[in-house]
Amino acid sequence: MKVGLNTHIIGAGSSCSILASATSFAGAGPSGMFMGGHGENTLGVEWVMPDGEILRTGSLGAGLGWFSGEGPGPSVRAIMRGGLGTQGGLGVFTRIAIKLFPWPGPTKLNVEGTVPAYKVRMPDNFRTYTLSFPTWQAWADACYKIWDAEIGYIGHRQFSMFGRDLKWAMVKILTDPTKTLYDLEELMKDPEVVKIAGDMKRDFQLVLAGMTLRDIAWQDKALDEILAETGGWKSAAMLDPDITDWTFLYLVRLGHKNLNLVYGGGYDGCFGLQGSPDFGTQYIEEVTEFKREWEKKGNIVEAGGDCAMGGIGVVGGGGATVWENFAHFDPYNKESTEGTLAFFDATSAYGVKRGWGPGMEKQNDSARWTDGRTTPKEIRDKLLSGQASAMRYQHKIKEAFDPNDLGDTYYRTLE
């Protein structure tokens, strides 16, 4: 930022290692629509192989000269991380070169306020909106039109993680340091709070960044035209200056990720529905009703079924969305944890039945198992058997790069 450049921050937040997400695991986040994910942005690595040899790819410093970060198709980078990453299974990465992107904002963000209502005065060449739509088809159409217009710096369905019914009440609490979670029940008795939450049922947050004032004016006009074509609107409640400044800081720096755990101290995502907007929007109401019924059992937070947070873009230029439906639970309560596991078993079975496959709840589960340790191999083999060919190829790569099996066992293979 000091020299007008920025880096993509993954969805897990600004406290996470860029090296780890670029080389070893995932790498997606809200700024993906403008900056791409770290799977796209890794330009060079220093890779200590399991046998002790050091492999270098790309260029660790451009030096204003030529560099090669490898193109699409089979490559060392594809073996190194592919779409998701080897999770420590093929050695250790000690240095990387990462692609940076324009930052037309100030060299320093002067943060104001107190926890959790930190905010930054939004610069004149930025806009931060919560966009809402009359139908899910309109929501999906708006995504495509925003991508085609090449506007938007950050796109994210951020505050849906608090739940469809509760998100506006939670925004009011989190932007007012005099309020706490104990105010939630009273706020939900206010018809206006309920109404605003209903108006934000089909929404996402969008940050526009103008490289000049003329640029931001053009992006604003383009967005207004898109909203007119889709019947969407800018949430008036979220345009309150204090809330706008808070949302701007939240999305630009992703420093509030502790709020993922605000309800009970634990959460995990389920379903996912990653794909084109037309895919996710087909099924979000079905998923919402399924989760809403499980919320009534009392083991996960009753938030309205739809806690589906996710990026509007995921890859550079757009093209995909993700719907990580948060299940909030209490990790210190046995009934809550066991009930959450039962819920995840049910969501996975439902996803298989509907043809979507197991959701992200099983992807996450397979990385740590019920005791917090690596999943037993026989269980992993069963989970991976649906993609047998791909996993066997990964086993061949593992044999070639790590014949003594010294790397981390999170790497997924089938023999």
What is the reported pLDDT for 81?
Answer: 85
| Numbers of helices and strands, H then E, in the chain | 15, 13
328-332 contacts, C-beta under 8 A, 24 or more apart: 328/263, 328/264, 328/266, 328/267, 328/300, 328/301, 328/303, 329/264, 329/266, 329/267, 329/268, 329/299, 329/300, 329/301, 330/264, 330/265, 330/266, 331/264, 331/265, 331/266, 332/265
DSSP string, 17-49: -HHHHHHTS----TTHHHH--HHHHEEEEEEE-
DSSP string, 69-126: ---SSS-HHHHHTTTT--TTTT-EEEEEEE--EE--S-SS---BS-TT--B-PPPTTE
What is the reported pLDDT for 407?
Answer: 83
For residue 287, being part of any structural domain is answered with: yes
What is the reported pLDDT for 68?
Answer: 64
Q: What is the CATH number of the domain that holds 227?
A: 3.40.462.10
Q: Per the structure block, which two tokens stand in for 134?
A: 């009359």
What is the reported pLDDT for 62?
Answer: 60
Boundaries of domain holding 344: 126-367
Is there a single domain that holds both residue 137 and residue 9? no
Question: Which of 349, 367, 385 represents a domain boundary (last residue)?
Answer: 367
What is the reported pLDDT for 94?
Answer: 95
What is the reported pLDDT for 397?
Answer: 87
Is there a single domain that holds both residue 238 and residue 318? yes
Tally of CB atoms within 10 A around 5 = 11
What is the reported pLDDT for 71?
Answer: 55
SS (H, E, C) 272-310: EEEECHHHHHHHHHHHHHHHHHHHCCCCCCCCCCCCEEC
Is there a single domain that holds both residue 181 and residue 281? yes
Is there a single domain that holds both residue 29 and residue 94? yes
Is there a single domain that holds both residue 198 and residue 94? no
Question: Which of 367, 388, 403 represents a domain boundary (last residue)?
Answer: 367
What is the reported pLDDT for 122?
Answer: 98
DSSP letter (8 states) at residue 311: B
What is the reported pLDDT for 363?
Answer: 76
What is the reported pLDDT for 412?
Answer: 75
Kindly report the length of the chain: 415
Per-residue pLDDT of the chain (415 residues; tens, 9 = 90+): 999 999 999 999 999 999 999 999 889 999 999 999 998 898 889 999 888 899 888 776 666 566 666 655 567 888 888 888 888 889 899 999 899 999 999 999 999 999 999 999 999 999 999 999 999 999 999 999 999 999 999 999 999 999 999 999 999 999 999 999 999 999 999 999 999 999 999 999 999 999 999 999 999 999 999 999 999 999 999 999 999 999 999 999 999 999 999 999 999 999 999 999 999 999 999 999 999 999 999 999 999 999 999 999 888 999 899 999 999 999 999 999 999 999 999 999 999 899 888 788 877 777 667 776 777 778 777 777 777 787 888 888 888 888 888 887 777 777 7
Element (H, E) at 54: strand 54-58
- Number of domains making up the chain: 2
pLDDT digits (tens, 9 = 90+) for 99-151: 999 999 999 999 999 999 999 999 999 999 999 999 999 999 999 999 999 99
For residue 55, being part of any structural domain is answered with: yes
Between the alpha carbon of residue 18 and those of residues 38, 59, 353, the distances in Å are 8, 17, 37
What is the reported pLDDT for 61?
Answer: 64
